[in-house]
Amino acid sequence: MESNKDKLSIIALGGVNEIGKNMYVIQYNDDIVIIDCGSKFPDESLLGIDLIIPDISYLIENKDKVRGLVITHGHEDHIGGIPYIIKQFNMPIYATRLTLGIIQGKLKEHGLLGTTTLHEIDANASLTLGAIPLSFFRTNHSIPDCLGIVFDTPQGVVVHTGDFKFDLTPVNEQYADIHKMAAIGQNGVLALLSDSTNAERPGFTPSERFVGDHIEAAFAKATGKIFLSTFASNVNRLQQVIAAAEKTNRKIALLGRSMVNVVDIALSLGYLRMTPDMLIEAQDVNRYSPNELVILCTGSQGEPMAALARLASGTHRQVEVSPGDTVILAATPIPGNERNVARIVDHLFARGVKVIYGSGSVTGMHVSGHASQEELKLMLTLMKPKYFIPIHGEYRMLHQHRLLAEAVGVDSDNIFIINNGEAVDFTSSKARQGRHVPNGNTLVDGLGIGDVGHIVLRDRKVLSEDGILIFVLTLSKSDGKIVSGPDIISRGFVYVKESEALMEEVHRIALTTITQLQEAKTSQWGLYKQGLKEAVGKYLYFQAKRRPMILPIIIQV
Amino acid sequence: MESNKDKLSIIALGGVNEIGKNMYVIQYNDDIVIIDCGSKFPDESLLGIDLIIPDISYLIENKDKVRGLVITHGHEDHIGGIPYIIKQFNMPIYATRLTLGIIQGKLKEHGLLGTTTLHEIDANASLTLGAIPLSFFRTNHSIPDCLGIVFDTPQGVVVHTGDFKFDLTPVNEQYADIHKMAAIGQNGVLALLSDSTNAERPGFTPSERFVGDHIEAAFAKATGKIFLSTFASNVNRLQQVIAAAEKTNRKIALLGRSMVNVVDIALSLGYLRMTPDMLIEAQDVNRYSPNELVILCTGSQGEPMAALARLASGTHRQVEVSPGDTVILAATPIPGNERNVARIVDHLFARGVKVIYGSGSVTGMHVSGHASQEELKLMLTLMKPKYFIPIHGEYRMLHQHRLLAEAVGVDSDNIFIINNGEAVDFTSSKARQGRHVPNGNTLVDGLGIGDVGHIVLRDRKVLSEDGILIFVLTLSKSDGKIVSGPDIISRGFVYVKESEALMEEVHRIALTTITQLQEAKTSQWGLYKQGLKEAVGKYLYFQAKRRPMILPIIIQV
C-alpha cells in the first residue's frame, strides 16, 4: 500500500546529454534496480584516455539497497562499463541469452569470469527485485535479443524502452512485442523513458531487410573477392550476408577479433545459422578462387588497427585485396569517424578495388537500429505515459523527442529533460525534477580507473601542443653559486639543431635570470623556479608564439 | 617554334590527395608560373601544429625561373600560404580585385604589406609571364571574382579551372564565361586540370539563389532576433541576407573578425551593396528591438573561439541569444566539425532558441560552391581536353572524376592521377607521368615554419597520451655513490596522491636498478639511463598499461 512517504525515483547516471555510457536507476524506497552499465569513447580533448564509464558513487553510497543490474542489450554503450564497475561493486546481472554470452566474453577477457552472478532472462520473464516487480517486452534493434523493461512499482508503472526501432519485417523472425506494448499502455504508464538517438530524423527507419536486398544484388554482380565490413554485433545482418553468400556459392571467412568472437557466440547460442562447411579459416582464403569468397571484416568505422584498415593499407597478415575485388562498407560513418573511413576508401580505390561506400541511405548497405520520428511517436502513442523522460541522446535529440511527445499529446509540463546525476522523484504520483546525486565521467586510462583528472589532462594538453623544456641547475649549498647548468633538455618542442639561435637565447635568458636572483641574494628555490618560468615563457611566446611546459629542476649540493 | 627539346611540365606541389594547400606549377622550359598558394589545417595527429603549407624547395631551387604567382580566388586553401611563402621567396602576385583585397588584408596582419608586388587582373586580362601567355575565364564559386586560367604554351593549351560550379542564376550577375569556355575548347585544349571536390556527388549543385529563397522565408517567419552564421567570404550569400533583412525591416550587425573584415573589403570594393544606415555596430544591438535585428556571425563550423560558439555558451561580450530568437546555420558541417557544431546546437536549444541546422540540402540554407558530377561532365565536354588531370580532391574524388572523364570520352590512357610533387611532362605533345620533385607538408607552429618534424611530433604524441616521468639523480664524482635522489617528477601521468602505492613502487624499482648498476661498477651514464627506462617502463606497462615518457637526469658532483 502506498503511503505518503513512499518515493519512486528515476535517476540517470549516464546516457543523457551524450551518446554512450548508459546507466539509469529506478529506486523505490530502499530498493534500487540499475538499468545498463555502458562505456563510451573519449573525445579528442581527453588525451590518452581509453574509455569513460559512469561515476557510481551514488550506488556505492547505497550499496545495501542495490538489488541488481538489468541489461537491455549487448552493445558497448550498455555493457562496456561492467568489467570496471563490478571490480568496485559486485551485483547480480540479469540479461537475455545473447547479451549474457557477450558479457561473459567480456568478463573472461578481463579475468573476471565467475566473480559475479549472471541470470538469464527473456522477454517473457518476470522477476521481483526487492519490492519492485519487473517484466519485459521484446524490441527490434541492430543486435538480437533486446528488451524493454516494465517496472510495476506501487507508485505506478515505469517503462524503459532500451534501444529500439520498429522493424515489421525483421530478419530471423524476431518480431517486436507490439501487442504487449499496447497492453502495457492500456493498463496505464506513469513514466516512459525512451531512446532519443534518431529523434532528429523524420520518417520511419527502414527494415534490416532493405540492407539484405542490396547485399544480395551487390553479391550477384561481384566477380572477384567480396569484402563486407559491418558492426560485428549486427548478427541479423551477418545472417543476411550468409544468405547472399549461399546464393552465390561463396564461402565465408572472418577477419577481426570481435567478428570472430561474435560469430562464435551467435552460432553456439543459435542466433546465427549456417551450414558448417560454409565457414572457412582466414588462413585458408588463398586456397579458394576469388569468386568463391566473402570476407566479413571489422573496421567499418575506419578504426586504424582493425581488419579493414589493414586490408586497405596492404598490411594484413593473411588476406589481401586485389584489383577487381569488391569492398562493401555496410555502415554509415559515425560523426567523427568520416576522415578515417574516407582514408580507407582512398587506399582501396588506389588498389583498383570497387568500393561501395557512403551513407547507408544512398548505398542501401546500412539502416539505423534506432527509431525515427514516426516510430518514436508510435511508441509514445502505444505507451500513453503520464510523464515522459527522453533518454539516450545529446541535448538536441532529447529536445526534438520532447517536441514529438508534445505533438502526440503528452502534457508539456510532464516532460523532463534531465542531466546525468539528476533525479525525477514521484510521491503520491506527483513528479518533481531537480534533485541531484553524485555523478560524472570516470576515466579509464590503461588499467587505471579514475586516477586521471583535470590537472593531469591539462598537463597532457600543454605537453601535446608545445612539449616541455626542462632546466637543470645545480647550486652550491654553501655560497649559492652555480655548480653546473643551467642545462636545457627539450622534448616535443622544436628540433634543437634547427633552432640553435633560439635555444642559445633561451640559455642566455635563463643564466641572466639566475644571476640576477643570486645578486639579490635570493635563497628560495621557489623564486628561482618562478623567475625562470616567467622569463623564458615570455621570451618564447613573444619570439615564437609557443608555450611549452617549463620545468626548472634545482639541486643543491 | 617548338623544338624536340621544348618541355612543358605540370606539377602539383599541393592540392592532390588532399583538400587544401593548393599549389600547382606550369613550367615551359625555363619559365615557371605558379598557381595558388594555399594552406590547410592539420588533422589531430599533428599535435600543436597551427597550419600546413606546401614545401616550396622546388621553387627555391628554380628561383630564377619563377615568373609569378597567379591566384584563382580568395579562399584560404588558395591564398593561406602566401604570408609564409613570400617570407622565404618573394615573387609578383596576380589576382582579381576582391582576391587582392583579401590578400592585402592578410599581408597587413603579418606586417608584410609592401614586401611584394601585387598586380590586379580580371577575367578579360591577358598577360605573358616569361614565354607563357596567360588568359582567363570567369567561373562561379562560393566567393566572387574567381578565375579559370588558360596557359597558351607552344606545346599546347593548358587549362586550370580553379574552384568552380555552374550557377546559371548567380547572385550579383556574376555569370560564368560559358561561351568563352566553349571557344577555348573549340580551339583545342592539350590538358585540363579541374576541381574534383564534388566528384562523388551526383547531379548538379543548386544555385546560390536556392539559399536566398530559404533565407527570405525564414526571415519572414522569425519574431525575435535573427542570427545567421555562414562563411564570411561567401559575399553573394551575405548580399542575399542583406536583401532579406531589407524586406523585413531589420538592421544588420556583424560579429567576428573575419566577418567584419570581409564585409569591409567587399563594401569598399563594390562587391557588396547596402544602404549605409542598415549596418549597425555590434555594441548598439541592444538599442533595437529583437525584431529589428539580423546578426551575421562567424563560427558556422563550430570553431570554439568564434562568435557563434560564444553566443551559444552565453559568453559573448556584446550580444546574447534569448528565448524566441532564431539561429540559422547557413553551412553544412565539414567532416570533422560535426561534433563541435552539434555541441553549439545543443547549447542553443537549451537557451530556448529556434535553430535551423543540419545538412544544407535539407534546410535549404547552404549550397556547395563546387561542381557536382553533371557540371564536371559539362566542363570536360566544353574543354574537350586531350589529357586530363583531376586536381583539388582526395584520392577517391580524383578517382570518381577520372570515371566521369572516361564517361564523356577522354581516353583513359590520357588521364593522370598524380601525387603532390609529381610532374606530367609533355614533349612533342606526348605526355608522361612519374617525374618527382621535392614536396611535402611544411608545418607552421606558432611563428616557426618547418622547425617541427617527425621526432618532435612523436614526442608530443607520447607526452599527450601518458605524460612524462622525470628521474633526477645526483651521483658523487669521486665514488659514484648517490648524493641525492632518485627524485621523481611527473607531469600529465597520474595524480600522485591517488597513486601513492604505484609511485612508491616506481621509486623502489629505480633505486634497485641504480644500486645494481653501482654494484656492477658501471660508470657510464648511458647505462644508468637505459636501465631506468627499461625497468620502470616495463613495470608501468605491466602494472598500469601505460607508457609515459621516462626521462632520467643524472648529475655528477
DSSP symbols for B145-209: SEEEEEEEETTEEEEE--S-B--SS-GGG----HHHHHHHHHH-EEEEEEE-TTTT--S-PPPHH
pLDDT at A523: 67
Do B266 and B274 contact (CB within 8 A), yes or no?
A: no
Q: B208-363 and B454-556: same fold? A: no
By CA distance, what is B486's nearest residue in A?
Answer: A555
State yes or no: pLDDT of B3 exceeds 60. no
Residues B113-152: tens digit of each pLDDT: 989 999 999 999 999 999 999 999 999 999 999 999 999 9
Partner-chain residue, chosen from A346, A460, A555, that has the shortest CB–CB distance to B394: A346
**pLDDT at residue A5, as a whole number:** 65
> Is B366 a known ligand-binding residue?
yes
pLDDT digit string, tens, across residues A266-318: 999 999 999 989 999 999 999 999 999 999 999 999 998 999 999 999 999 99
* Residue-wise pLDDT tens digits, B522-555: 667 788 888 999 999 999 988 888 899 999 998 8
Per-residue buried b or exposed e for A178-212, using 16+ beta carbons within 10 Å of the residue's own CB: bebbeebbeeebbbbbbbbbbbbbeebbbbbbbbb
Q: Is A90's pLDDT higher than 60?
A: yes
Give the SS3 label for residue B486: strand
Which residues in chain B are contacts of A452 at CB distance < 8 A? 494-495
Query: For residue B336, what pLDDT is reported?
Result: 83
Three cell numbers, residue A140? 527490434
Output the average pLDDT for chain A: 93
What is the per-residue pLDDT for B448?
78
Do A79 and A53 touch, CB atoms closer than 8 A?
A: no
A36 pLDDT higher than 70: yes
Q: Which of B55, B167, B195, B325 is catalytic?
A: B195
Domain ranges of chain A: 8-203+368-447, 208-363, 454-556
Q: Does pLDDT of A197 surpass 90?
A: yes
- The residues with which B329 forms a beta bridge, in sequence order, are B229
Residue A68 among known ligand-binding residues: no
Q: Is A48 annotated as a binding residue?
A: yes
Average pLDDT of A354-374?
Answer: 95
Catalytic pick among B160, B214, B316, B370: B370
Residue among A396, A418, A541, A549 with most chain B CBs within 10 A, to mutate: A396
Is B553 in contact with A553 (Cβ distance < 8 A)?
yes
Q: How many CB pairs under 8 A join A and B?
A: 190
Rg of chain B taking only CA atoms, in angstroms: 29
- Chain B residues with CB inside 8 Å of A499's CB? 448, 451
Per the CB < 8 Å rule, is A455 touching B545?
no
pLDDT number for residue B523: 67
| Alpha-carbon distance A237 to nearest alpha carbon in chain B (angstroms) | 27
> What pLDDT was estimated at residue A500?
83
User: Stretch A66-79: mean pLDDT, rounded?
Assistant: 97
Which of B327, B506, B555 to probe the A interface (max A CBs under 10 A)? B555
User: What's the confidence (pLDDT) of residue B227?
Assistant: 98
Asked if B489 and A551 come within 8 Å (Cβ–Cβ), the reply is yes
Q: Is A367 one of the annotated binding-site residues?
A: yes
Q: Which residues in chain A have Cβ-Cβ distances shorter than 8 Å to B301?
A: none
CA A538-A539-A543 angle, to 5 degrees, is 120
Q: How many CA atoms lie within 13 A of B353 on its CB side?
A: 30
Alpha carbon of A150: minimum distance to chain B alpha carbons (Å): 30
Q: What percent of chain A has pLDDT over 70?
A: 98
| pLDDT of B2 over the 50 cut | no
Asked if pLDDT for residue B293 goes beyond 90, the answer is yes
Asked if A394 and A336 touch (Cβ cutoff 8 Å), the reply is no
**According to the model, what pLDDT value does residue B1 have?**
46
- The reply to whether residue B342 touches residue A358, judged by beta carbons under 8 angstroms, is no
| A277 known ligand binder | no
For residues A234 and A152, what is the distance between their CA atoms, to the nearest angstrom? 31
Count how many Cα atoms sit within 13 Å of the Cα of residue A553 in the half-sphere of its side chain. 27
Say yes or no for a CB contact (<8 Å) between B495 and A452. Answer: yes
Query: Which residues of chain A does B412 touch, with a Cβ-Cβ cutoff of 8 Å?
Result: none
Does the annotation place A141 within a ligand binding site?
Answer: yes
pLDDT reported for residue A1 = 46
Rounded to 5°, the CA angle A141-A147-A152 comes to: 145
Q: Which residues on B lie below 8 Å from A456 (Cβ)?
A: 467, 492-495
On whether the CB atoms of residues B20 and B397 are closer than 8 A, the answer is no
At residue A422, the 3 state secondary structure works out as: strand
Give the lowest-confidence range in A440-449, A465-474, B190-199, B394-403: A440-449
DSSP A236: H
Which of B485, B456, B466 shows the shortest CA–CA distance to B537? B466
Rounded to whole angstroms, the Cα distance separating B390 from B10 reads 12
Rounded to whole angstroms, how far apart are CA atoms A85 and A324?
Answer: 48
- Of B146, B299, B132, B279, nearest to B208 by C-alpha is B146
* CA distance, residue B166 to nearest chain A CA (Å): 24
The 10s digit of each residue's pLDDT in B81-99 is 999 999 888 899 999 999 9
Of A342, A357, A456, the CB nearest to B495: A456
In the predicted structure, residue B4 carries a pLDDT above the cut 60 = no
Nearest-neighbour CA in chain A from B346: distance (Å):
5
Name the residue facing A446 among B335, B460, B546 (closest C-beta).
Answer: B546
Question: Which positions in chain A touch B457 (Cβ < 8 Å)?
Answer: 492
CA gap B515, B509 in Å, rounded = 10
Structure confidence at residue A3 (pLDDT): 53
Residues B396, A468: C-beta atoms closer than 8 Å: no
pLDDT recorded at residue A476: 85
Q: Quick one: fold of A8-203+368-447?
A: Metallo-beta-lactamase; Chain A (3.60.15)
Torsion of CA A116, A117, A119, A120, to 10 degrees: 60
pLDDT number for residue B428 = 82
Report the CATH number of the A208-363 domain: 3.40.50.10710
d(CA A330, CA A237): 9
Q: Which residues of A touch B372 (CB under 8 A)?
A: none
Confidence of residue A242 (pLDDT cuts 50, 70, 90): very high
User: What is the tens place of the pLDDT at every residue in A427-453?
Assistant: 986 899 999 999 989 988 877 787 777
The band of A173, judged by pLDDT with boundaries at 50, 70 and 90, is: confident
C-alpha to C-alpha distance for A391 and A372, rounded to whole angstroms: 14
Reply yes or no on whether the pLDDT at A2 is more than 50. no
- What's the CATH code, domain B454-556? 3.10.20.580
- At residue B480, does pLDDT exceed 90? no
Q: Which three cell numbers stand for residue B377?
A: 561532365
**Is B370 marked active-site?**
yes
Task: Write out pLDDT tens, residues A389-428.
Answer: 999 999 999 999 999 999 999 999 999 999 999 999 999 8
- B459 labelled as ligand-binding? no
Nearest chain B Cα to A448, which residue? B544
Q: Which CATH class is domain B8-203+368-449?
A: alpha beta
**Global confidence as pTM:** 0.90
Query: What's the pLDDT at B173?
Result: 86
> Across the interface, which of A350, A459, A499 has its CB nearest the CB of B492?
A459
Do B379 and B194 form a contact (C-beta atoms < 8 A)? Answer: yes
Which of A35-39, A494-498, B283-287, B479-483 has the weakest average pLDDT? Answer: A494-498
Q: Which three cell numbers stand for residue B176?
A: 560564368
**Residues in A touching B350 (Cβ below 8 Å):** 395, 399
Which range (A317-321, B162-166, B336-340) has the least confidence?
A: B336-340
Nearest-CA distance B129 → chain A (Å): 36
- Output the pLDDT for position A502: 87
- What number is the average pLDDT over the span A190-217? 97
**B-chain residue closest to A491, CA distance:** B459
- A460 with B446: Cβ contact below 8 A: no
**Best of A49, A555, A556 to disrupt the B interface by mutation (most B CBs within 10 Å)?**
A555
Q: Is A110 annotated as a binding residue?
A: no
For residue B257, give the C-alpha cell. Answer: 573578425
Q: Which residues of A touch B390 (CB under 8 A)?
A: none
Q: Cell for A348?
A: 582501396
Distance from CA of A146 to the nearest CA of B (A): 28
